[in-house]
Amino acid sequence: MNLQSPILPFPTLLWEQIAVLQSHNRFLYTGNRYLPKIALTFDDGPNPYYTPQVLAVLQRYGVKATFFCIGRQVASYPDLVKQEYADGNLVGNHSWSHPNLALLSSDEIDSQINLTSNAIQQVIGVRPTLFRPPYGVVNARVLSKANLLGLTTIIWSDEARDWTTPGTSVIVSRILSLAGDGAIILMHDGGGDRSQTVAGLPTIITTLRLRGYQFVTLQQMLKDLPKRPASTQAPIFVPTTIPSASPAASPGP
């Protein structure tokens, strides 16, 4: 399935729905922009080859991150999800099979989310509270269903675009040039060749630490959010295009 149509502009009612969710900390694209904290997030895993390498780097540098897992991957590699959680990382829901949820019915969305939450809970004993929609694509059905299921929808502020495999130096340069206070950084540990991400991760971590940033999970980012009415929220970040998806891999967010 080709998913390259732009998703902007959103209808006014959808923006209003997002604003309401934001005001209750149920939709997040960035943390507190006045605190030097950054959240590293990894999508599309677990992957039997790359996830252990990402975990090893995080362990080596004492960094906690958030992994948004695909349900069928959780079912295939439960021990890797156990390791993510045992290492102190947060495990979130990234749907069962990485479809564009905006194209699905409400029942299909429910199935994609619930099957994944059930799989994660079965493995680590804790039901996820965070949800990242595939490709960052949402509509009223997706947002409503996630909210009804008790999930906070997480997008991102900065991305490495590592799914395009642009080279390690490009991935590092993109992240270091974009990251700032409250950044939620999107990378991948599954869905394709993630060797460049693994190779660049030590430089990303050490450089951002030298700049004074602390790495936290999204759970901590939510705790740090200021309490503000919806009318004063910053403009919403939304990806402007959706990368292509192939049956063999989920290369995009």
Query: Would you state the torsion angle of the CA atoms of residues 168, 174, 176, 182, taken in this order, to the nearest 10 degrees?
Result: -130
Specify the 3-state DSSP secondary structure of 55: helix
Among 44, 98, 188, 189, which one carries the catalytic annotation?
188
Out of 43, 44, 158, 189, which one is annotated catalytic?
A: 43
Q: Distance from CA of residue 54 to its chain's centroid?
A: 15
Task: Compute and round to an integer the Cα radius of gyration of the chain.
Answer: 17
Short-list 100, 157, 163, 139, CA closest to 14: 139
Residue 145 CB coordination number (10 Å) = 22
Burial class (CB in 10 A: 0-12, 13-18, 19+), 235: exposed
Query: What one-letter code names the amino acid at 175?
Result: I
Contact present, 23 and 46 (Cβ < 8 Å): no
- Residues near 217 by beta carbon (within 8 Å), at least 6 away in sequence: 39, 64, 65, 66, 89, 90
Active site residue 188: yes
Q: Is 43 a catalytic residue?
A: yes
Are the C-beta atoms of 31 and 221 separated by less than 8 Å? yes
d(CA 175, CA 157): 11
Spatial contact of 128 and 151, defined as CB atoms under 8 Å apart: yes
Catalytic residue positions, numbered: 43, 188
